[in-house]
């Protein structure tokens, strides 16, 4: 499920325009990475520093969503601290994780 970059409303999968605000929807591509819990925090930091990431989703082995990090958090460094603390807790509990990265073109 993707969200409008302008108003944050949920978008249909094939929507070209937001049904709430009418803004044009950018094409979203997703990439999935499998990482061990030891490398989870470093990999997420690297992805946030790339700059073109709009959302990062952390999933466990059973594809349950453990954490979602919106793109605006990556821009603001101070707000990132609680997310990294949550990632540390997830890394302590999970052995392997999947990172799903959404990027807008």
Q: Span 45-74, mean pLDDT?
A: 77
* Band (74; pLDDT cuts 50, 70, 90): very low
Look at residue 96 and tell me whether its pLDDT is greater than 70: yes
> Domains (ranges, CATH) in the chain?
27-104 (3.30.1490)
| pLDDT of 72 | 57
For residues 42, 48, 53, 56, the Cα torsion angle rounded to the nearest 10 degrees is 50
| pLDDT of 10 | 84
Distance of CA 84 to the CA centre of its chain: 13
């Amino acid at each position: 499920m993707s969200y409008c970059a302008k108003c944050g409303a949920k978008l249909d999968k094939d929507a070209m325009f937001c049904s709430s605000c009418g803004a044009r929807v950018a094409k979203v591509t997703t990439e999935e990475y499998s990482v061990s819990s030891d490398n989870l925090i470093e990999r997420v930091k690297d992805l946030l520093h790339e700059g073109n990431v709009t959302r990062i989703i952390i999933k466990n082995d059973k594809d349950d969503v453990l954490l979602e990090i919106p793109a605006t958090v990556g821009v603001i460094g101070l707000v990132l601290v609680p997310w990294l603390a949550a990632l540390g807790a997830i890394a302590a509990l999970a052995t392997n994780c999947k990172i799903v990265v959404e990027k807008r073109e």
